[in-house]
């Protein structure tokens, strides 16, 4: 498995080997040894999530309060999606920048999204499945969102076939600037301290 740190956010892309044969294929999208080597600590899994989305559904931009935050290890076992990670850590040298990676059921690339980063994706096919390994359980009082259509963020939704399909909650979410004004965004130094705790 290969690991690559993304340029703007510090998220990490993992590329596993895929073994096809006449029966189908075998792949291990998460491998603890490769993860620990890349991050310096194992992934604590407190919850697994599974979502199914129609074409043009956008989910996110979602994040959780830090500490403790919620790290996610995500991959796409069916269909295809564009996964987007946004640096929303106030004080970060790459604040407001984003990285995008295509995840699909051909290459089974995975993405690790550390605590304090925003996460969103666009489903590129009907019945696209996203699988999440989460470091902490869902905590509604600590979960927040940023509007994925915020023009200042200019997220790369160029592959939309039609109008974006959003939840009411995501559509009503504040812009990045509004979330900053409301004091909702994670602090960069607090995130760095959390990363050190995990090592």
pLDDT for the residue numbered 11: 96
Instruction: State the total domains in the chain.
Output: 1
pLDDT for the residue numbered 133: 98
Query: Does the pLDDT value for residue 35 go beyond 90?
Result: yes
Query: Does the pLDDT value for residue 81 go beyond 90?
Result: yes
Residue-wise pLDDT for 89-146, tens only, equals: 999 999 999 999 999 999 999 999 999 999 999 999 999 999 999 999 999 999 999 9
Distance CA 72, CA 47 (A): 10
pLDDT for the residue numbered 198: 85
| CATH number of the domain encompassing residue 105 | 2.60.120.10
Residue 199's pLDDT band, with cuts at 50, 70 and 90, is confident
Residue 192 is part of which domain span?
2-198
Distance CA 97, CA 11 (A): 12
Distance CA 27, CA 134 (A): 20
Q: How far is CA 11 from the centre of its chain?
A: 8
Query: Does the pLDDT value for residue 180 go beyond 90?
Result: yes
Q: What is the DSSP string of 40-95?
A: SSPPP-SEEEEEEE-TTBEEEEEEE-TTT---EEEEEEESEEEEEEEE--BT-TTT
Distance CA 139, CA 141 (A): 6
pLDDT for the residue numbered 111: 98
Query: Does the pLDDT value for residue 37 go beyond 90?
Result: yes
Predicted TM-score (pTM) of the model is 0.95
Residues labelled as active-site residues:
62, 132
Distance CA 155, CA 64 (A): 20
Helix (H) or strand (E) holding 38: helix 32-39
Strand positions, DSSP E, the chain: 2-5, 12-15, 18-21, 24-27, 47-53, 58-64, 72-78, 80-87, 98-104, 110-113, 117-123, 128-134, 143-145
């Amino acid at each position: 498995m290969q690991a690559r740190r993304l340029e703007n956010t510090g998220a990490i892309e993992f590329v596993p080997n895929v073994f096809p044969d006449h029966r189908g294929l075998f792949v291990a999208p998460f491998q603890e040894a490769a993860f620990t080597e890349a991050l310096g600590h194992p992934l604590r899994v407190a919850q697994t999530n599974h979502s199914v989305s129609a074409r043009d559904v956008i989910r996110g931009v979602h994040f959780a309060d830090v500490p403790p935050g919620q790290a996610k290890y995500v991959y796409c076992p069916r269909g295809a999606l564009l996964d987007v990670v946004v640096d929303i850590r106030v004080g970060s040298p790459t604040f407001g920048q984003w990285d995008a990676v295509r995840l699909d059921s051909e290459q089974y690339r995975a993405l690790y999204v550390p605590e304090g980063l925003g996460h969103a994706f666009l489903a590129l096919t009907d019945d696209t499945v996203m699988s999440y390994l989460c470091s902490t359980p869902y905590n509604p009082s600590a979960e927040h969102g940023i509007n994925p259509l915020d023009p200042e963020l200019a997220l790369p939704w160029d592959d939309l076939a039609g109008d974006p399909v959003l939840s009411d909650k995501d559509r009503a979410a504040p812009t990045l600037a509004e979330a900053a004004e409301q004091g909702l965004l994670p602090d960069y130094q607090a995130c760095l301290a959390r990363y050190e705790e995990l090592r």
